[in-house]
Amino acid sequence: LDILAIESSCDETAAAVVRDGRQVLSNVINTQVAEHGKYGGVVPEIASRRHIENIVGVVDEALSAAGHTPDTVGAIAVTAAPGLIGALLVGVNYAKGLSLVSGKPLVPVHHLRGHVAANYLAHPDLAPPYLALVVSGGHSHIVEVLDYTGYRTIGQTRDDAAGEAFDKAARAMGLPYPGGVSIDKITPQGDPHAFELPTPHVSGSEYDFSFSGLKTAVVNLLHNAQQKGGTVPVPDLAASFAYKVVDILVNNTLRAAEDFHYRTIALAGGVSANSTLRKRMEEECAGRGIALYLPPLSLCGDNAAMIGAQAYYQLQAGYTADLSLNGAACMDIQAEFS
């Protein structure tokens, strides 16, 4: 079954055709990252406007590259939550229109479930149950993937998401947006132990994260050096920051895997492209005999192929929507669209 999938939750207008949830037939991504970079972050109003301009061409390209039309695919899938509401609505309404004229089922997909499902496109043997670390621009979750459409959140961030922390820390260091990419690039030139950054204390759940204190520590370090007329070696600070964020992510994930008896871990989301995180997880999992699944670098960031992968399983489980479907800025990964 070939599914046309559309993604427009943030600053990528994307469309893809995916076969049986596992095989990418086409995958088109139009990213606005350069335009938003001028402002140091995503400007929601600009994002919505660009989605409107780009969506017709992006969807046409994905369909024709796969040798399909809206009438020949088996279903139309779309990211309906969470994300920027004005951005989401462009994809949701376009998908509704395509579903209406083609008579094909409409499948709403949770964006973070999509990030997790990116792994299915690269790893034919990956199947639930497993533990997922979802780390992106807006979210940081440790999630039990119980089956293809069933999730239980074990831990999450209390403040900033991991990607958000990377972006804010990079901005303070004067590195270009998106900061996660910038920090990752200069990390090899720095000493990860040059600065001893604090491990944030999170009371309550031992699997939850907190990253805003780390970001503040970076800001203070830079500020204090500046006041004394000195400078901070940015590669050292970047490497130390990446080391600390990754240390926290890895420790909590491994503890959760042990406590909940998971022998399989998958990473997901934009931050799963981080080389420090990938390397450290590989080492730790190998040492413990845990099977680790990493999304390919090309599918870590926002794309529609991952939405098409998850949509296959949502459709199989009977989760379709009618034309009353709406987008939502916030939605729990454990919830279904009603």
Known binding-site positions for substrate: 134-138, 167, 180, 184, 274
**Binding marks (x or -) toward Fe ion, 32..71, rule CB under 5 A?**
----------------------------------------
241 binds ligand ATP (CB under 6 A): no
Interface residue with Fe ion among 136, 140, 157, 314 (CB under 5 A) is: 136
Q: State the virtual CA torsion across 47, 52, 57, 61 in degrees, nearest 10.
A: 60
Q: Which stretch binds ligand ATP (CB under 6 A): 23-31, 53-61, 124-132, 159-167?
A: 159-167
Cβ proximity to Fe ion, 143 vs 202, nearer residue: 143
Cβ proximity to Mg ion, 141 vs 244, nearer residue: 141
What angle (nearest 5°) sits at the alpha carbon of residue 75, between those of residues 72 and 79?
A: 135
Torsion sign over Cα 215, 208, 78, 62: positive
Cβ proximity to Fe ion, 87 vs 202, nearer residue: 87
Interface residue with Fe ion among 12, 160, 164, 302 (CB under 5 A) is: 302
Which residues partner with 321 through β-bridges? Answer: 106
183 binds Mg ion (CB under 5 A): no
Which residues are annotated binding-site positions for Fe cation? 111, 115, 302
From the list Fe ion, ligand ATP, Mg ion, none, pick the one residue 139 interacts with, judged by a Cβ distance below 5 to 8 Å according to partner type: ligand ATP
284 CB-near residues (< 8 Å, 6+ apart): 250, 254, 290
139 binds ligand ATP (CB under 6 A): yes
Q: Which stretch binds Fe ion (CB under 5 A): 181-189, 240-248, 299-307, 328-336?
A: 299-307
8 binds Fe ion (CB under 5 A): no
Amino acid at 12: E
From the list Fe ion, Mg ion, ligand ATP, none, pick the one residue 190 interacts with, judged by a Cβ distance below 5 to 8 Å according to partner type: none
Q: How far apart are CA 77 and CA 103, in angstroms?
A: 13
Cβ proximity to Mg ion, 10 vs 59, nearer residue: 10
Q: How far apart are CA 168 and CA 101, in angstroms?
A: 44
302 binds ligand ATP (CB under 6 A): yes
Q: How many residues bind Fe ion (CB under 5 A)?
A: 2
Helix or strand (DSSP H, E) at 150: strand 150-156
Torsion sign over Cα 244, 246, 247, 251: positive
306 binds Mg ion (CB under 5 A): no
Q: How far apart are CA 318 and CA 308, in angstroms?
A: 15
DSSP-derived secondary structure for 189-244: GS-TTSS-PPPPP--S-TT-B--HHHHHHHHHHHHHHHHTT----HHHHHHHHHHH
Quick one: tokens of 337?
């669209």
Q: How far apart are CA 83 and CA 300, in angstroms?
A: 16
Q: How many H helices and E strands in the chain?
A: 10, 10
Subset of 61-100 contacting ligand ATP (CB under 6 A): 83
Subset of 3-22 contacting Mg ion (CB under 5 A): 10-11
Quick one: tokens of 21?
């949830």
Subset of 104-123 contacting ligand ATP (CB under 6 A): 111, 115
138 binds ligand ATP (CB under 6 A): yes
What angle (nearest 5°) sits at the alpha carbon of residue 151, between those of residues 148 and 155?
A: 145
- By CB under 6 A, name the binding residues for ligand ATP: 9-10, 83, 111, 115, 136-139, 163-164, 166-167, 178-181, 184, 269-271, 273-274, 301-302
- By CB under 5 A, name the binding residues for Mg ion: 10-11, 302
